[in-house]
Amino acid sequence: MSSMLQPQIILLKEGTDTSQGKPQLVSNINACTAVADVVRTTLGPRGMDKLIHDDKGSVTISNDGATIMKLLDIVHPAAKILVDIAKSQDSEMLEIVELRL
């Protein structure tokens, strides 16, 4: 009985968006689709290079999806997960290649 009277504790940063439901789902899908669209044109035998210019004045030309995703400034949480997955997969592949050498 006493556990039912305790308040629910939620640990979130100040200003955290806690939206739920269909609008949030649509937002997640749109953000992930936008990231996929950026990388999609680099794939395949006719894959194109991307020129990325950051706010520091640095310019990078690459057709490597992981490199491109690392250079993007992503703020949407769902899209950021895609970038984290790409970084993780890229580091795992580098470790495997280094082991074979």
For residue 33, what pLDDT band results from cuts at 50, 70 and 90?
A: very high
- Annotated domain spans of the chain: 20-100
More confident residue, 14 or 78: 78
Confidence at residue 29, expressed as pLDDT on a 0 to 100 scale = 92
Confidence at residue 30, expressed as pLDDT on a 0 to 100 scale = 94
The mean pLDDT value for 33-59 works out to 89
- Angstrom CA distances, 67 to 8, 20, 25, 35, stand at 42, 32, 27, 13
Q: For residues 46 and 52, what is the distance between their CA atoms, to the nearest angstrom? A: 19
DSSP state, 61?
A: E
For residue 1, what pLDDT band results from cuts at 50, 70 and 90?
A: low
- Angstrom CA distances, 28 to 23, 52, 63, stand at 9, 24, 25
